[in-house]
Structure 1
Amino acid sequence: MTRPYVLLSVAVSVDGYIDDRDGQGFPLSNELDFDRVDQVRAESDAILIGAETVRRDNPRLLVNSAERRAARVADGLPEHPLKITVTGSGDLDPDLRFWHCGGRKLVYTTDSGATSANLGELAEVVSLGAELDFARLLDDLGGRGVGRLMVEGGGRIHTAFLSAGLADEIQLAVAPLLIGHAGAPRFLNPAEYPGGPARRMHLEDVSRVGDVAVLRYFPKA
């Protein structure tokens, strides 16, 4: 069984934050970078975010461009990629927008979370066992034919994939601003990463998208 190619996509401030302390949801990227991310979504078979991000941002998580959606359909694909969230507790509000637009939805959770999730026909709920097992998650997605997985956060989810050595690519958009709030969320949390600080990732590309710098890293290379 082949696991999907895992691409982590994130926008950060120059000082490494993905949001401010108060969670106001101000944009880190610009319109050009939002369009770039939309292209990455359109090229993906599935998009994954953590349940905390679902609750905080209430996103639709769709391909916004009508032309890109049409191109997917012309290629025999669903209009939108499969939407996935991950939760340990199963605490998911069925009224959030995530569940009511786009196509198929999939929830990965724990044994206890599966008994707590109350989504009815809104999503398929899959237990990964007593704890969240991201390797097992990728095995299951591979079995479903998912070849390319885009991971959009948040920090706990990015940390889980990188600390387990499961990410193939990072697309890091660096915005020209400083947040500086000690309690604000960062791209990554403290963890034991493969190789530790002695291991340098491969920098594949750097591009300028308006006033944003997009860095592509290959963690496994």
Structure 2
Amino acid sequence: MHVVVNAAMSADGKLSSRRREQISISGESDFDRVDRLRADRDAVVVGVGTVLADDPRLTVKDDALCEQRRTDGQSSQPARVVIDSKARTPVDAAVLTDEAETYVCVSEAAPVGRRMDLADHAELVTAGDDRVDLLRAFAALQAAGLEQIMVEGGGELIFSLFENGLVDELRVFVGPTIIGGRDAPTLADGDGFVTNFPTLELETLERLDDGALLVWNS
């Protein structure tokens, strides 16, 4: 399995405002890049916080890219995966539409009724007691044939992936906006590291729109 974390952040390292509202950080060139990256993956992964805040579809927008996937013998859309320990994903969330296959990863602590409701709309993966055990969850996704993974946030999930050594590549568009706010989400939130800080190797740096795209390998 190869896991790519992709994100857009402000010049001061924020993913959105302290209100957790979606903010336009990148431009058309980066939107196209993200669409191509999605089209090249087997699955797109987000945390439930992203679903609750933004209600994303997580689908490839360009019809030509969808057609190319079909030509290559794949489904027109990559699978969608939500990491959702307590099964909080609304049953009417855009990520649960029938445009693409969806997996929801929950823990044993998720209410049984909520799990049953979600099971009517998605494939459930149960891994972990109080929180989703990412190592077990990703192993289950791999067993389902999902090898090329794209993670789109949010900061809590990204931190947990680094904590579990699951990130192979980090791609970040840094936009020209300043957001500020001590409570605004950053690229990697969670508890934070105090020792054994993960280090990355810079592969490429290029100007894109009015910002810069940085690609690191773990």
Q: Residue 163 of structure 1 contacts residue 193 of structure 1 at CA under 8 Å; is this kept in 2? A: no
Q: Deviations over 1:15-42 (max 9, x none)?
A: 1100011233121110110000000000
Percent of aligned positions with the same letter in both sequences? Answer: 29
| Matching residue of 2:144 | 144
List alignment gaps of at least 5 residues for structure 2: none
| Matching residue of 1:107 | 104
| Matching residue of 1:165 | 165
1:129 Cα deviation after fit: 2.6
CA pair 200-215 structure 1, distance change in 2 beyond 3 A: same
CA RMSD of aligned residues (A): 1.5
1:120 Cα deviation after fit: 4.2
Aligned residue identity for 1:188: A
Are positions 1:119 and 2:118 aligned together? yes
How many residues matched? 214
1:87 Cα deviation after fit: 0.9
Q: TM-score, normalised by structure 2?
A: 0.93
| Matching residue of 1:95 | 92
Partner-residue secondary structure (3-state), 2:203: strand
List alignment gaps of at least 5 residues for structure 1: none
Q: Distance in 1 between matches of 2:149 and 2:195?
A: 21
| Matching residue of 2:133 | 133
Q: TM-score, normalised by structure 1?
A: 0.92
2:12 to 9, 12, 15: 15
Are positions 1:208 and 2:207 aligned together? yes
Q: Residue 21 of structure 2 contacts residue 53 of structure 2 at CA under 8 Å; is this kept in 1? A: no
Which aligned segments of 4 or more residues in structure 1 are displaced greater than 4 angstroms? none
Q: Residue 5 of structure 2 contacts residue 152 of structure 2 at CA under 8 Å; is this kept in 1? A: yes
1:67 to 64, 68, 74: 64
| Matching residue of 1:26 | 23
